[in-house]
A and B are shown apart, each in its own frame.
Chain A
Amino acid sequence: MIARRLFLQGLSATAITAGLAPEISAQEAASQAETEAARQIAPSADSSPLRVGIIGPGSRGKELVRNLLRVPGVRIVAAADVYPPRFDQLNQVCGYTVPSHTDYRALLDRKDLDAIVVATPLGLHASHVIPALQSGRHVYGEKTMAYTVDQARDIAAAAKVSNRIYQVGHQYRYSPWIRAAIARVKAGEIGNVTHILGYWNRNNDWRRPVPTADPSGHLERLINWRLYHEWSLGLIAELGSHHMDIANWIFGSAPTTALASGSICCYHDGRETDDNVQVVLSYPAGRRFIFTSMTDNAKQGDQLWLYGTKGSLNVTLEDATFFYEPRQIVKAPTNGKGEEKGVTTSASYRPEGEMPYRGPGKPLTIANPEDATTIAIRAFVHCVRTNTQPIANADVGLGSALGVIHANQALREKKEVAIPLIST
């Protein structure tokens, strides 16, 4: 179990200890990991030139480019996409014309690239990330790491063999408020966390418009790839993978089993992936992560709830709030003489006594609340420049991919699936 427990702590303690003297304690390793993480997250004055190419400048790809252009020294020098309208959109984002290629291999053949961003549909990640690493470039690859476990392991192996940086698009690992909240959870603020509930609900059909006539249906499958099995693992991958990553981080382990269900409840429009899903992942010591997503009611939005023996933590896309369980009975000190000090009477109203009786909670406040993707991208550039292992490395990517892939298998097979202990 030790291996599983230490597995996947972000810039994991195991990874740190591996390169150091064997007697280093897990605690020291964890604190070194924290120091290294802080270094990656901090802005840097380095503005040495870095030439980046992008494969798949779609909606996420463009957002990554916007963030890359906030890092001093970075220039986007080439793009590859099979859908030509993307090139104009990318030029708009960059403010200049980016040389374009309709085949990613032509991009890899260029001699003027240091790093590559891969933001293509999930089913294509491995087929773009692996050749990019093999071409000697560092890679920022979007989540979910890969469509199959074997592909995820091949990505990790390719990064190792080529000795290049691979960072996976789990940007919440870099979110200042999530990091600060999780540090407090790890320090015991809400006791022993036994359950994590993740909701990501929306109220729309998850489709994107297909702007031109499409008699063959080819464009529909390219633009709405999320709705078709060929390249997509559905809501579990697109939304659940982030929550699963955070659950792995908090539980300090990859999941051990997966149960899942789903259906097409609302949108009978020829799609193949479910429009609502429910997942239960088991972790060592009986702990559970539960994920639900529906697409016809957005009341709950995107939220993560951590339940511990002493309290709860609510994490949303932009803040974090702590709630505390009522205190257990404790032994009270007496003054020894048996004298009662007495109490002063007053009105009984206390705001935290209002329903719901846990009160409004204590919001987390932090000094430097930057956007998670802005930091993740800046940290990637830092890792490339300094040849450092990223916080969201292949282990992080694999951990979340294990949950996503096995939950999909459980959903398809309608039974609980054991998740093998696999590392990179």
Chain B
Amino acid sequence: MVALRAALLSVLLTVPCVCANTPAPPIVHRFHQNHLAMGTEFTLDLYAPDQALASEVAAQAFDEIDRLEALLSNYRPASELSRIGREAAAHPVITDPETFHFLERSLFWSRESDGAFDITVGPVLRAWGFFFHSGRIPSSSELVALRPRVGWQHIHLDPGTRAVSFMTRQPMELDPGSIGKGFAIDAVIAILREQGITSAFLSAGNSTLYGLGAPPGAFGWPVHVPDPHHPGQPAATILLHDTSLSTGACTEKFFVHNGHRYCHIFDPRTLSPAEGMLQTSVIAPSATDSDALSTVVFVLDPQATRYLLEHTPETRALLFGQPPDHEACLAINWEGSPCTSAKPSPHKDLPL
């Protein structure tokens, strides 16, 4: 049995106290709402004095998510990202600062990870049959033919004019799937703060999470990280306080061929599914970054991950790999020692 561990992520210098001369904290209630967007279900929990305020704030939060979905979705031809994907091959496309910033951050993680993270990888997933739930193994010539249409290094950003151009002169599909949910969460958290909300928890399908402040009387929002080697058992429980956590795993979108599991998280450098990793969880102050990093560390080999995270302030990671190629459990900057009691899986291959 893995022991539960609670680690407080931001150092709280003051502990709430009931003193005679401090005004009593306002009475707040907890509210909860769900919203389907970006191909997943967002949930918002927040503390507010009354239902009317909670519902207005939630409406603003979900409107913002819908706005960003309309801006970034690769399933919507009218999105700004789709427009760029279509036109930046023919001429430089001037875009708005928000979209430009989104692309800058995406390319930043591509550069930092030596290409392990890449928002242009869509056509490769398509070739592997990931969009229609019918996996297939493409021929290597098929993959080689995709090369000119894939590759973050083909995107040129000019910050002076906010112009985006594709150096290969080929249209590219820009897929926000591995960073857009985090980007949306950061935007919503900014709105919640602006509206004076001090305690809220926002989740995009449980894979990208943000804890704003803490629930009354608590130090943070509890999150359990499961241990994929021991289904049903948490490997760690942490408290999110003004920070985010994202998890990448190969447990939902995958296909099995000849007993091998092919994962929807791709290694853009090999144009093939990432191998050896089962689950990655990354904590970072920005949800955009933790979202991107959960993919980065899924694809990178553990040494490269360790090097990257040790050079990225305020990030922590808990990784579960498949021995013998990868360590069964690897904690980087993670509070406590979640790996010491996580036993290697008795099975060579993951139970499907």
Contact = CB atoms under 8 A, between A and B. Distances in A.
Interface of A: 43, 45, 47, 63, 66-67, 69-72, 93-95, 204-205, 207-209, 211-212, 269, 318, 368-372, 374
Nearest to B67: A63
B98 interface: yes
A372 B86 CA distance: 16
B50 to A, nearest CB: 11
B80 A205 contact: no
Given A72-B94, A93-B98, A207 B56 contact: yes
Contacts of B195: 209, 211
Given A207-B56, A208-B56, A69 B162 contact: yes
A269 B79 CA distance: 37
Given A43-B87, A370-B78, A66 B52 contact: no
7 contacts: A69-B94, A69-B95, A70-B94, A93-B96, A205-B52, A208-B56, A211-B194
B259 interface: no
Contact of B97 (A67, A93, A371, A372): A93
A67 B99 CA distance: 11
B73 to A, nearest CB: 10
A70 B194 contact: no
B25 interface: no
Given A47-B94, A94-B97, 6 more contacts: A45-B91, A63-B67, A66-B98, A93-B98, A205-B52, A371-B83
A13 B60 CA distance: 42
A369 B91 CA distance: 18
Contacts of A43: 87
Contact of B196 (A72, A211, A369): A211
B194 A66 contact: no
A208 B96 CA distance: 25
* Nearest 7 Cβ contacts at the A-B interface: A95-B97, A369-B77, A209-B56, A66-B96, A371-B78, A69-B96, A204-B59
B83 A374 contact: yes
Nearest to B101: A95
A371 B94 contact: no
B214 to A, nearest CB: 21
B192 to A, nearest CB: 10
Where chain B touches its partner, the secondary structure class is helix
A239 to B, nearest CB: 15
Interface in B28-62: 52-53, 55-57, 59-60
A369 B56 contact: no
B76 interface: yes
B88 to A, nearest CB: 12
Interface in B136-173: 161-162
B95 A70 contact: yes
Contacts of A212: 196
A208 B60 contact: yes
A108 to B, nearest CB: 26
A66 B59 CA distance: 21
Nearest to A175: B78
B92 to A, nearest CB: 9
Contacts of A368: 86
A370 B86 CA distance: 10
B98 A371 contact: no
B105 to A, nearest CB: 14
A238 to B, nearest CB: 14
Most buried by A among B52, B57, B96, B195: B96
A105 B217 CA distance: 51
B80 A371 contact: yes
A318 B78 CA distance: 8
Nearest to B53: A209
A212 to B, nearest CB: 8
Contacts of A204: 55, 59
A208 B70 CA distance: 21
A269 B56 CA distance: 13
A91 to B, nearest CB: 10
Contacts of B57: 209
B48 to A, nearest CB: 9
Most B-side CB within 10 Å, residue of A67, A70, A208, A318: A70
B27 to A, nearest CB: 17
Contacts of B56: 205, 207-209
A45 B86 CA distance: 16
Contacts of B161: 72
Task: Name which of B53, B60, B77 has the most chain A CB atoms within 10 A of its CB.
Answer: B77
For B78, B91, B94, the residue with the greatest tally of chain A CB atoms inside 10 Å of its CB is B78
A54 to B, nearest CB: 14
Contacts of B162: 69
Contacts of B194: 211
Given A45-B91, A204-B55, A371-B80, A209 B60 contact: yes
A218 to B, nearest CB: 18
Contacts of A94: 97
A369 B86 CA distance: 11
A70 B96 contact: yes
Contacts of B86: 368
A144 B225 CA distance: 51
A374 B84 CA distance: 12
B57 to A, nearest CB: 5
